[in-house]
Chain A
């Protein structure tokens, strides 16, 4: 079955630093990947759509300069949280869409900003 990995699975960083999260589709190519954020006991909220070879599209209210997305290949998308602050602490989940338009979710990255 389709497998999506994320790295790291968890990260703790100091306020003001930047954190990069990788999302990889291991056994299929994904022209489109999605980045979600989930706060405790809440639902998943779409942050942005990552398109291979083009700029990401961001949802309303998500700062594109703060959450940098790069989709450099058909199997890799990265999300960089720049100048992270405690309010950015959350569970970040990516999904990759296959040719059948099904989304497969990664295991998530838990970010804690001190």
Chain B
């Protein structure tokens, strides 16, 4: 069945370092969404990418959707302790309105 994998599973960085998480789908996605989940919290929507090769920025966060619409990345520049959490990508499952979530990347930032 359809799978959405993320690497790395965990990442520990020193505050100020950059961070990137990669999302890979086994199938082509019509769109990709990114969520952030703080420890003990619920997923919070960050952004949606729709177009092939699309790049969007939100302050220190840069999101990219691959040309083949099967992969995506989230890059954080100069991480801060407030960036701590698990980052999930998600896309439509089998072209339905249901979401399939990636495996997630847990980010820890040391001050």
A: residues with CB less than 8 A from B are 32, 34, 41-46, 49, 93, 97, 101-108
Contacts and interface: CB of A to CB of B under 8 A. Distances in A.
Interface of B: 35, 41-45, 48, 88, 93, 97-104, 106
A43 B98 contact: no
A51 B48 CA distance: 24
Contacts of B104: 42-43
Contacts of A103: 45, 99
Contact of B97 (A43, A97, A108): A97
B98 A34 contact: yes
A104 B48 CA distance: 13
A43 B102 contact: yes
Contacts of A108: 41-42
A47 B108 CA distance: 29
